[in-house]
Amino acid sequence: MRAAALPAAALTLSLSGCSLNTLALRTTTGLMEKGAAAYHEEPDTQLAKEAIASQLKFVEALLRSEPGNAKLLLLSAEAFAGYTFLYVEDAAPARAKELYVRGRDYGLRALARHPALSGAAAQPLEAVEQALAKAEKPDAPALFWSAFAWSGAINLSRDSAAAVADLPKAVAMMKRAWELDKEFHFGGPDLFFGVYYASRPAMLGGDNAKAKTHFEWARRLTAGKYLMAYVLEARYYAVAVQDRELFTALLTRVKDSPAGALPGARLTDEIAKEKAAALLEKADDLF
């Protein structure tokens, strides 16, 4: 009876259009989604760095079996963007640029149901904006990570006119993510715009007042418990307005606050503490 059941099960899978490989891949993908919390809550930043690096290649290997798997694509976009921001950008900008581009491309592929968005890197701004109007709340994570990674790559490619010319598309995507889900990733869209407005000269759209407002909104969304928000405000806004007292106060708050006050933020908080300490040592060069 058991021997007869095996062919029957295989036939059922075949008839349903689901191969054993596909079933295994989708089961693995589900486990990875649920297991992501283990990375987010890791207090040892070096252990997390090593684990995430190996995970990046594992996810890419899975994508070879199912290139259009939206969940895997989104996991890849978040992993590449987050890993690059947390660990690579400050230490190796040239390498970070390439990793950000990979994260961007995975994020755009996750938006495949909107062709102009999935191919945004080759589309004119007008086509991207028209497609963004049709985006819905479930698209917010892919929009966020695509725009986050894209803008990161552009920031590290300021000597490339072609790369800088794409910035309006990345900004438009983040604006739509902000409209669809302001709370996503600890107020991430507001933090993005806080950095965006503080890091640009006024003649190119920079606006310190808008930057301050977005940082304040992000803090309200997380009840002031997300430590990386203070690091970004110090690094970009406080430096832009040359307020050393604010700079020191924000970073000292990070150093003195407990990590992991918000679920899913322990690792980022621990790295925020490391970045805060490094920035405080560079204060004389920034003011």
Give residue-wise pLDDT tens across range 110-157. Answer: 999 999 999 999 999 999 999 999 999 999 999 999 999 999 999 999
CA distance 146 to 165: 16
pLDDT at residue 38, as a whole number: 78
Nearest to 147 by CA among 100, 186, 187: 100
pLDDT at residue 9, as a whole number: 38
Q: What is the mean pLDDT of the chain?
A: 91
Nearest to 178 by CA among 155, 210, 153: 210
* Residue 209 CA: distances (Å) to CA of 198, 249, 286, 287: 8, 19, 20, 20
Query: Does residue 259 have a pLDDT over 90?
Result: yes
pLDDT at residue 34, as a whole number: 63
pLDDT at residue 1, as a whole number: 35
Q: What is the pLDDT of residues 72-112, one digit of tens each?
A: 999 999 999 999 999 999 999 999 999 999 999 999 999 99
Which has more confidence, 286 or 37? 286
Is residue 248 within 8 A of residue 282, CB to CB? The reply is no
Q: Which of 28-32, 41-45, 253-257 has the lowest mean pLDDT?
A: 28-32
Query: Does residue 11 have a pLDDT over 50?
Result: no
Q: For the purposes of burial, counting CB atoms within 10 Å of the CB of 204, is it exposed (0-12), middle (13-18) or buried (19 or more)?
A: exposed
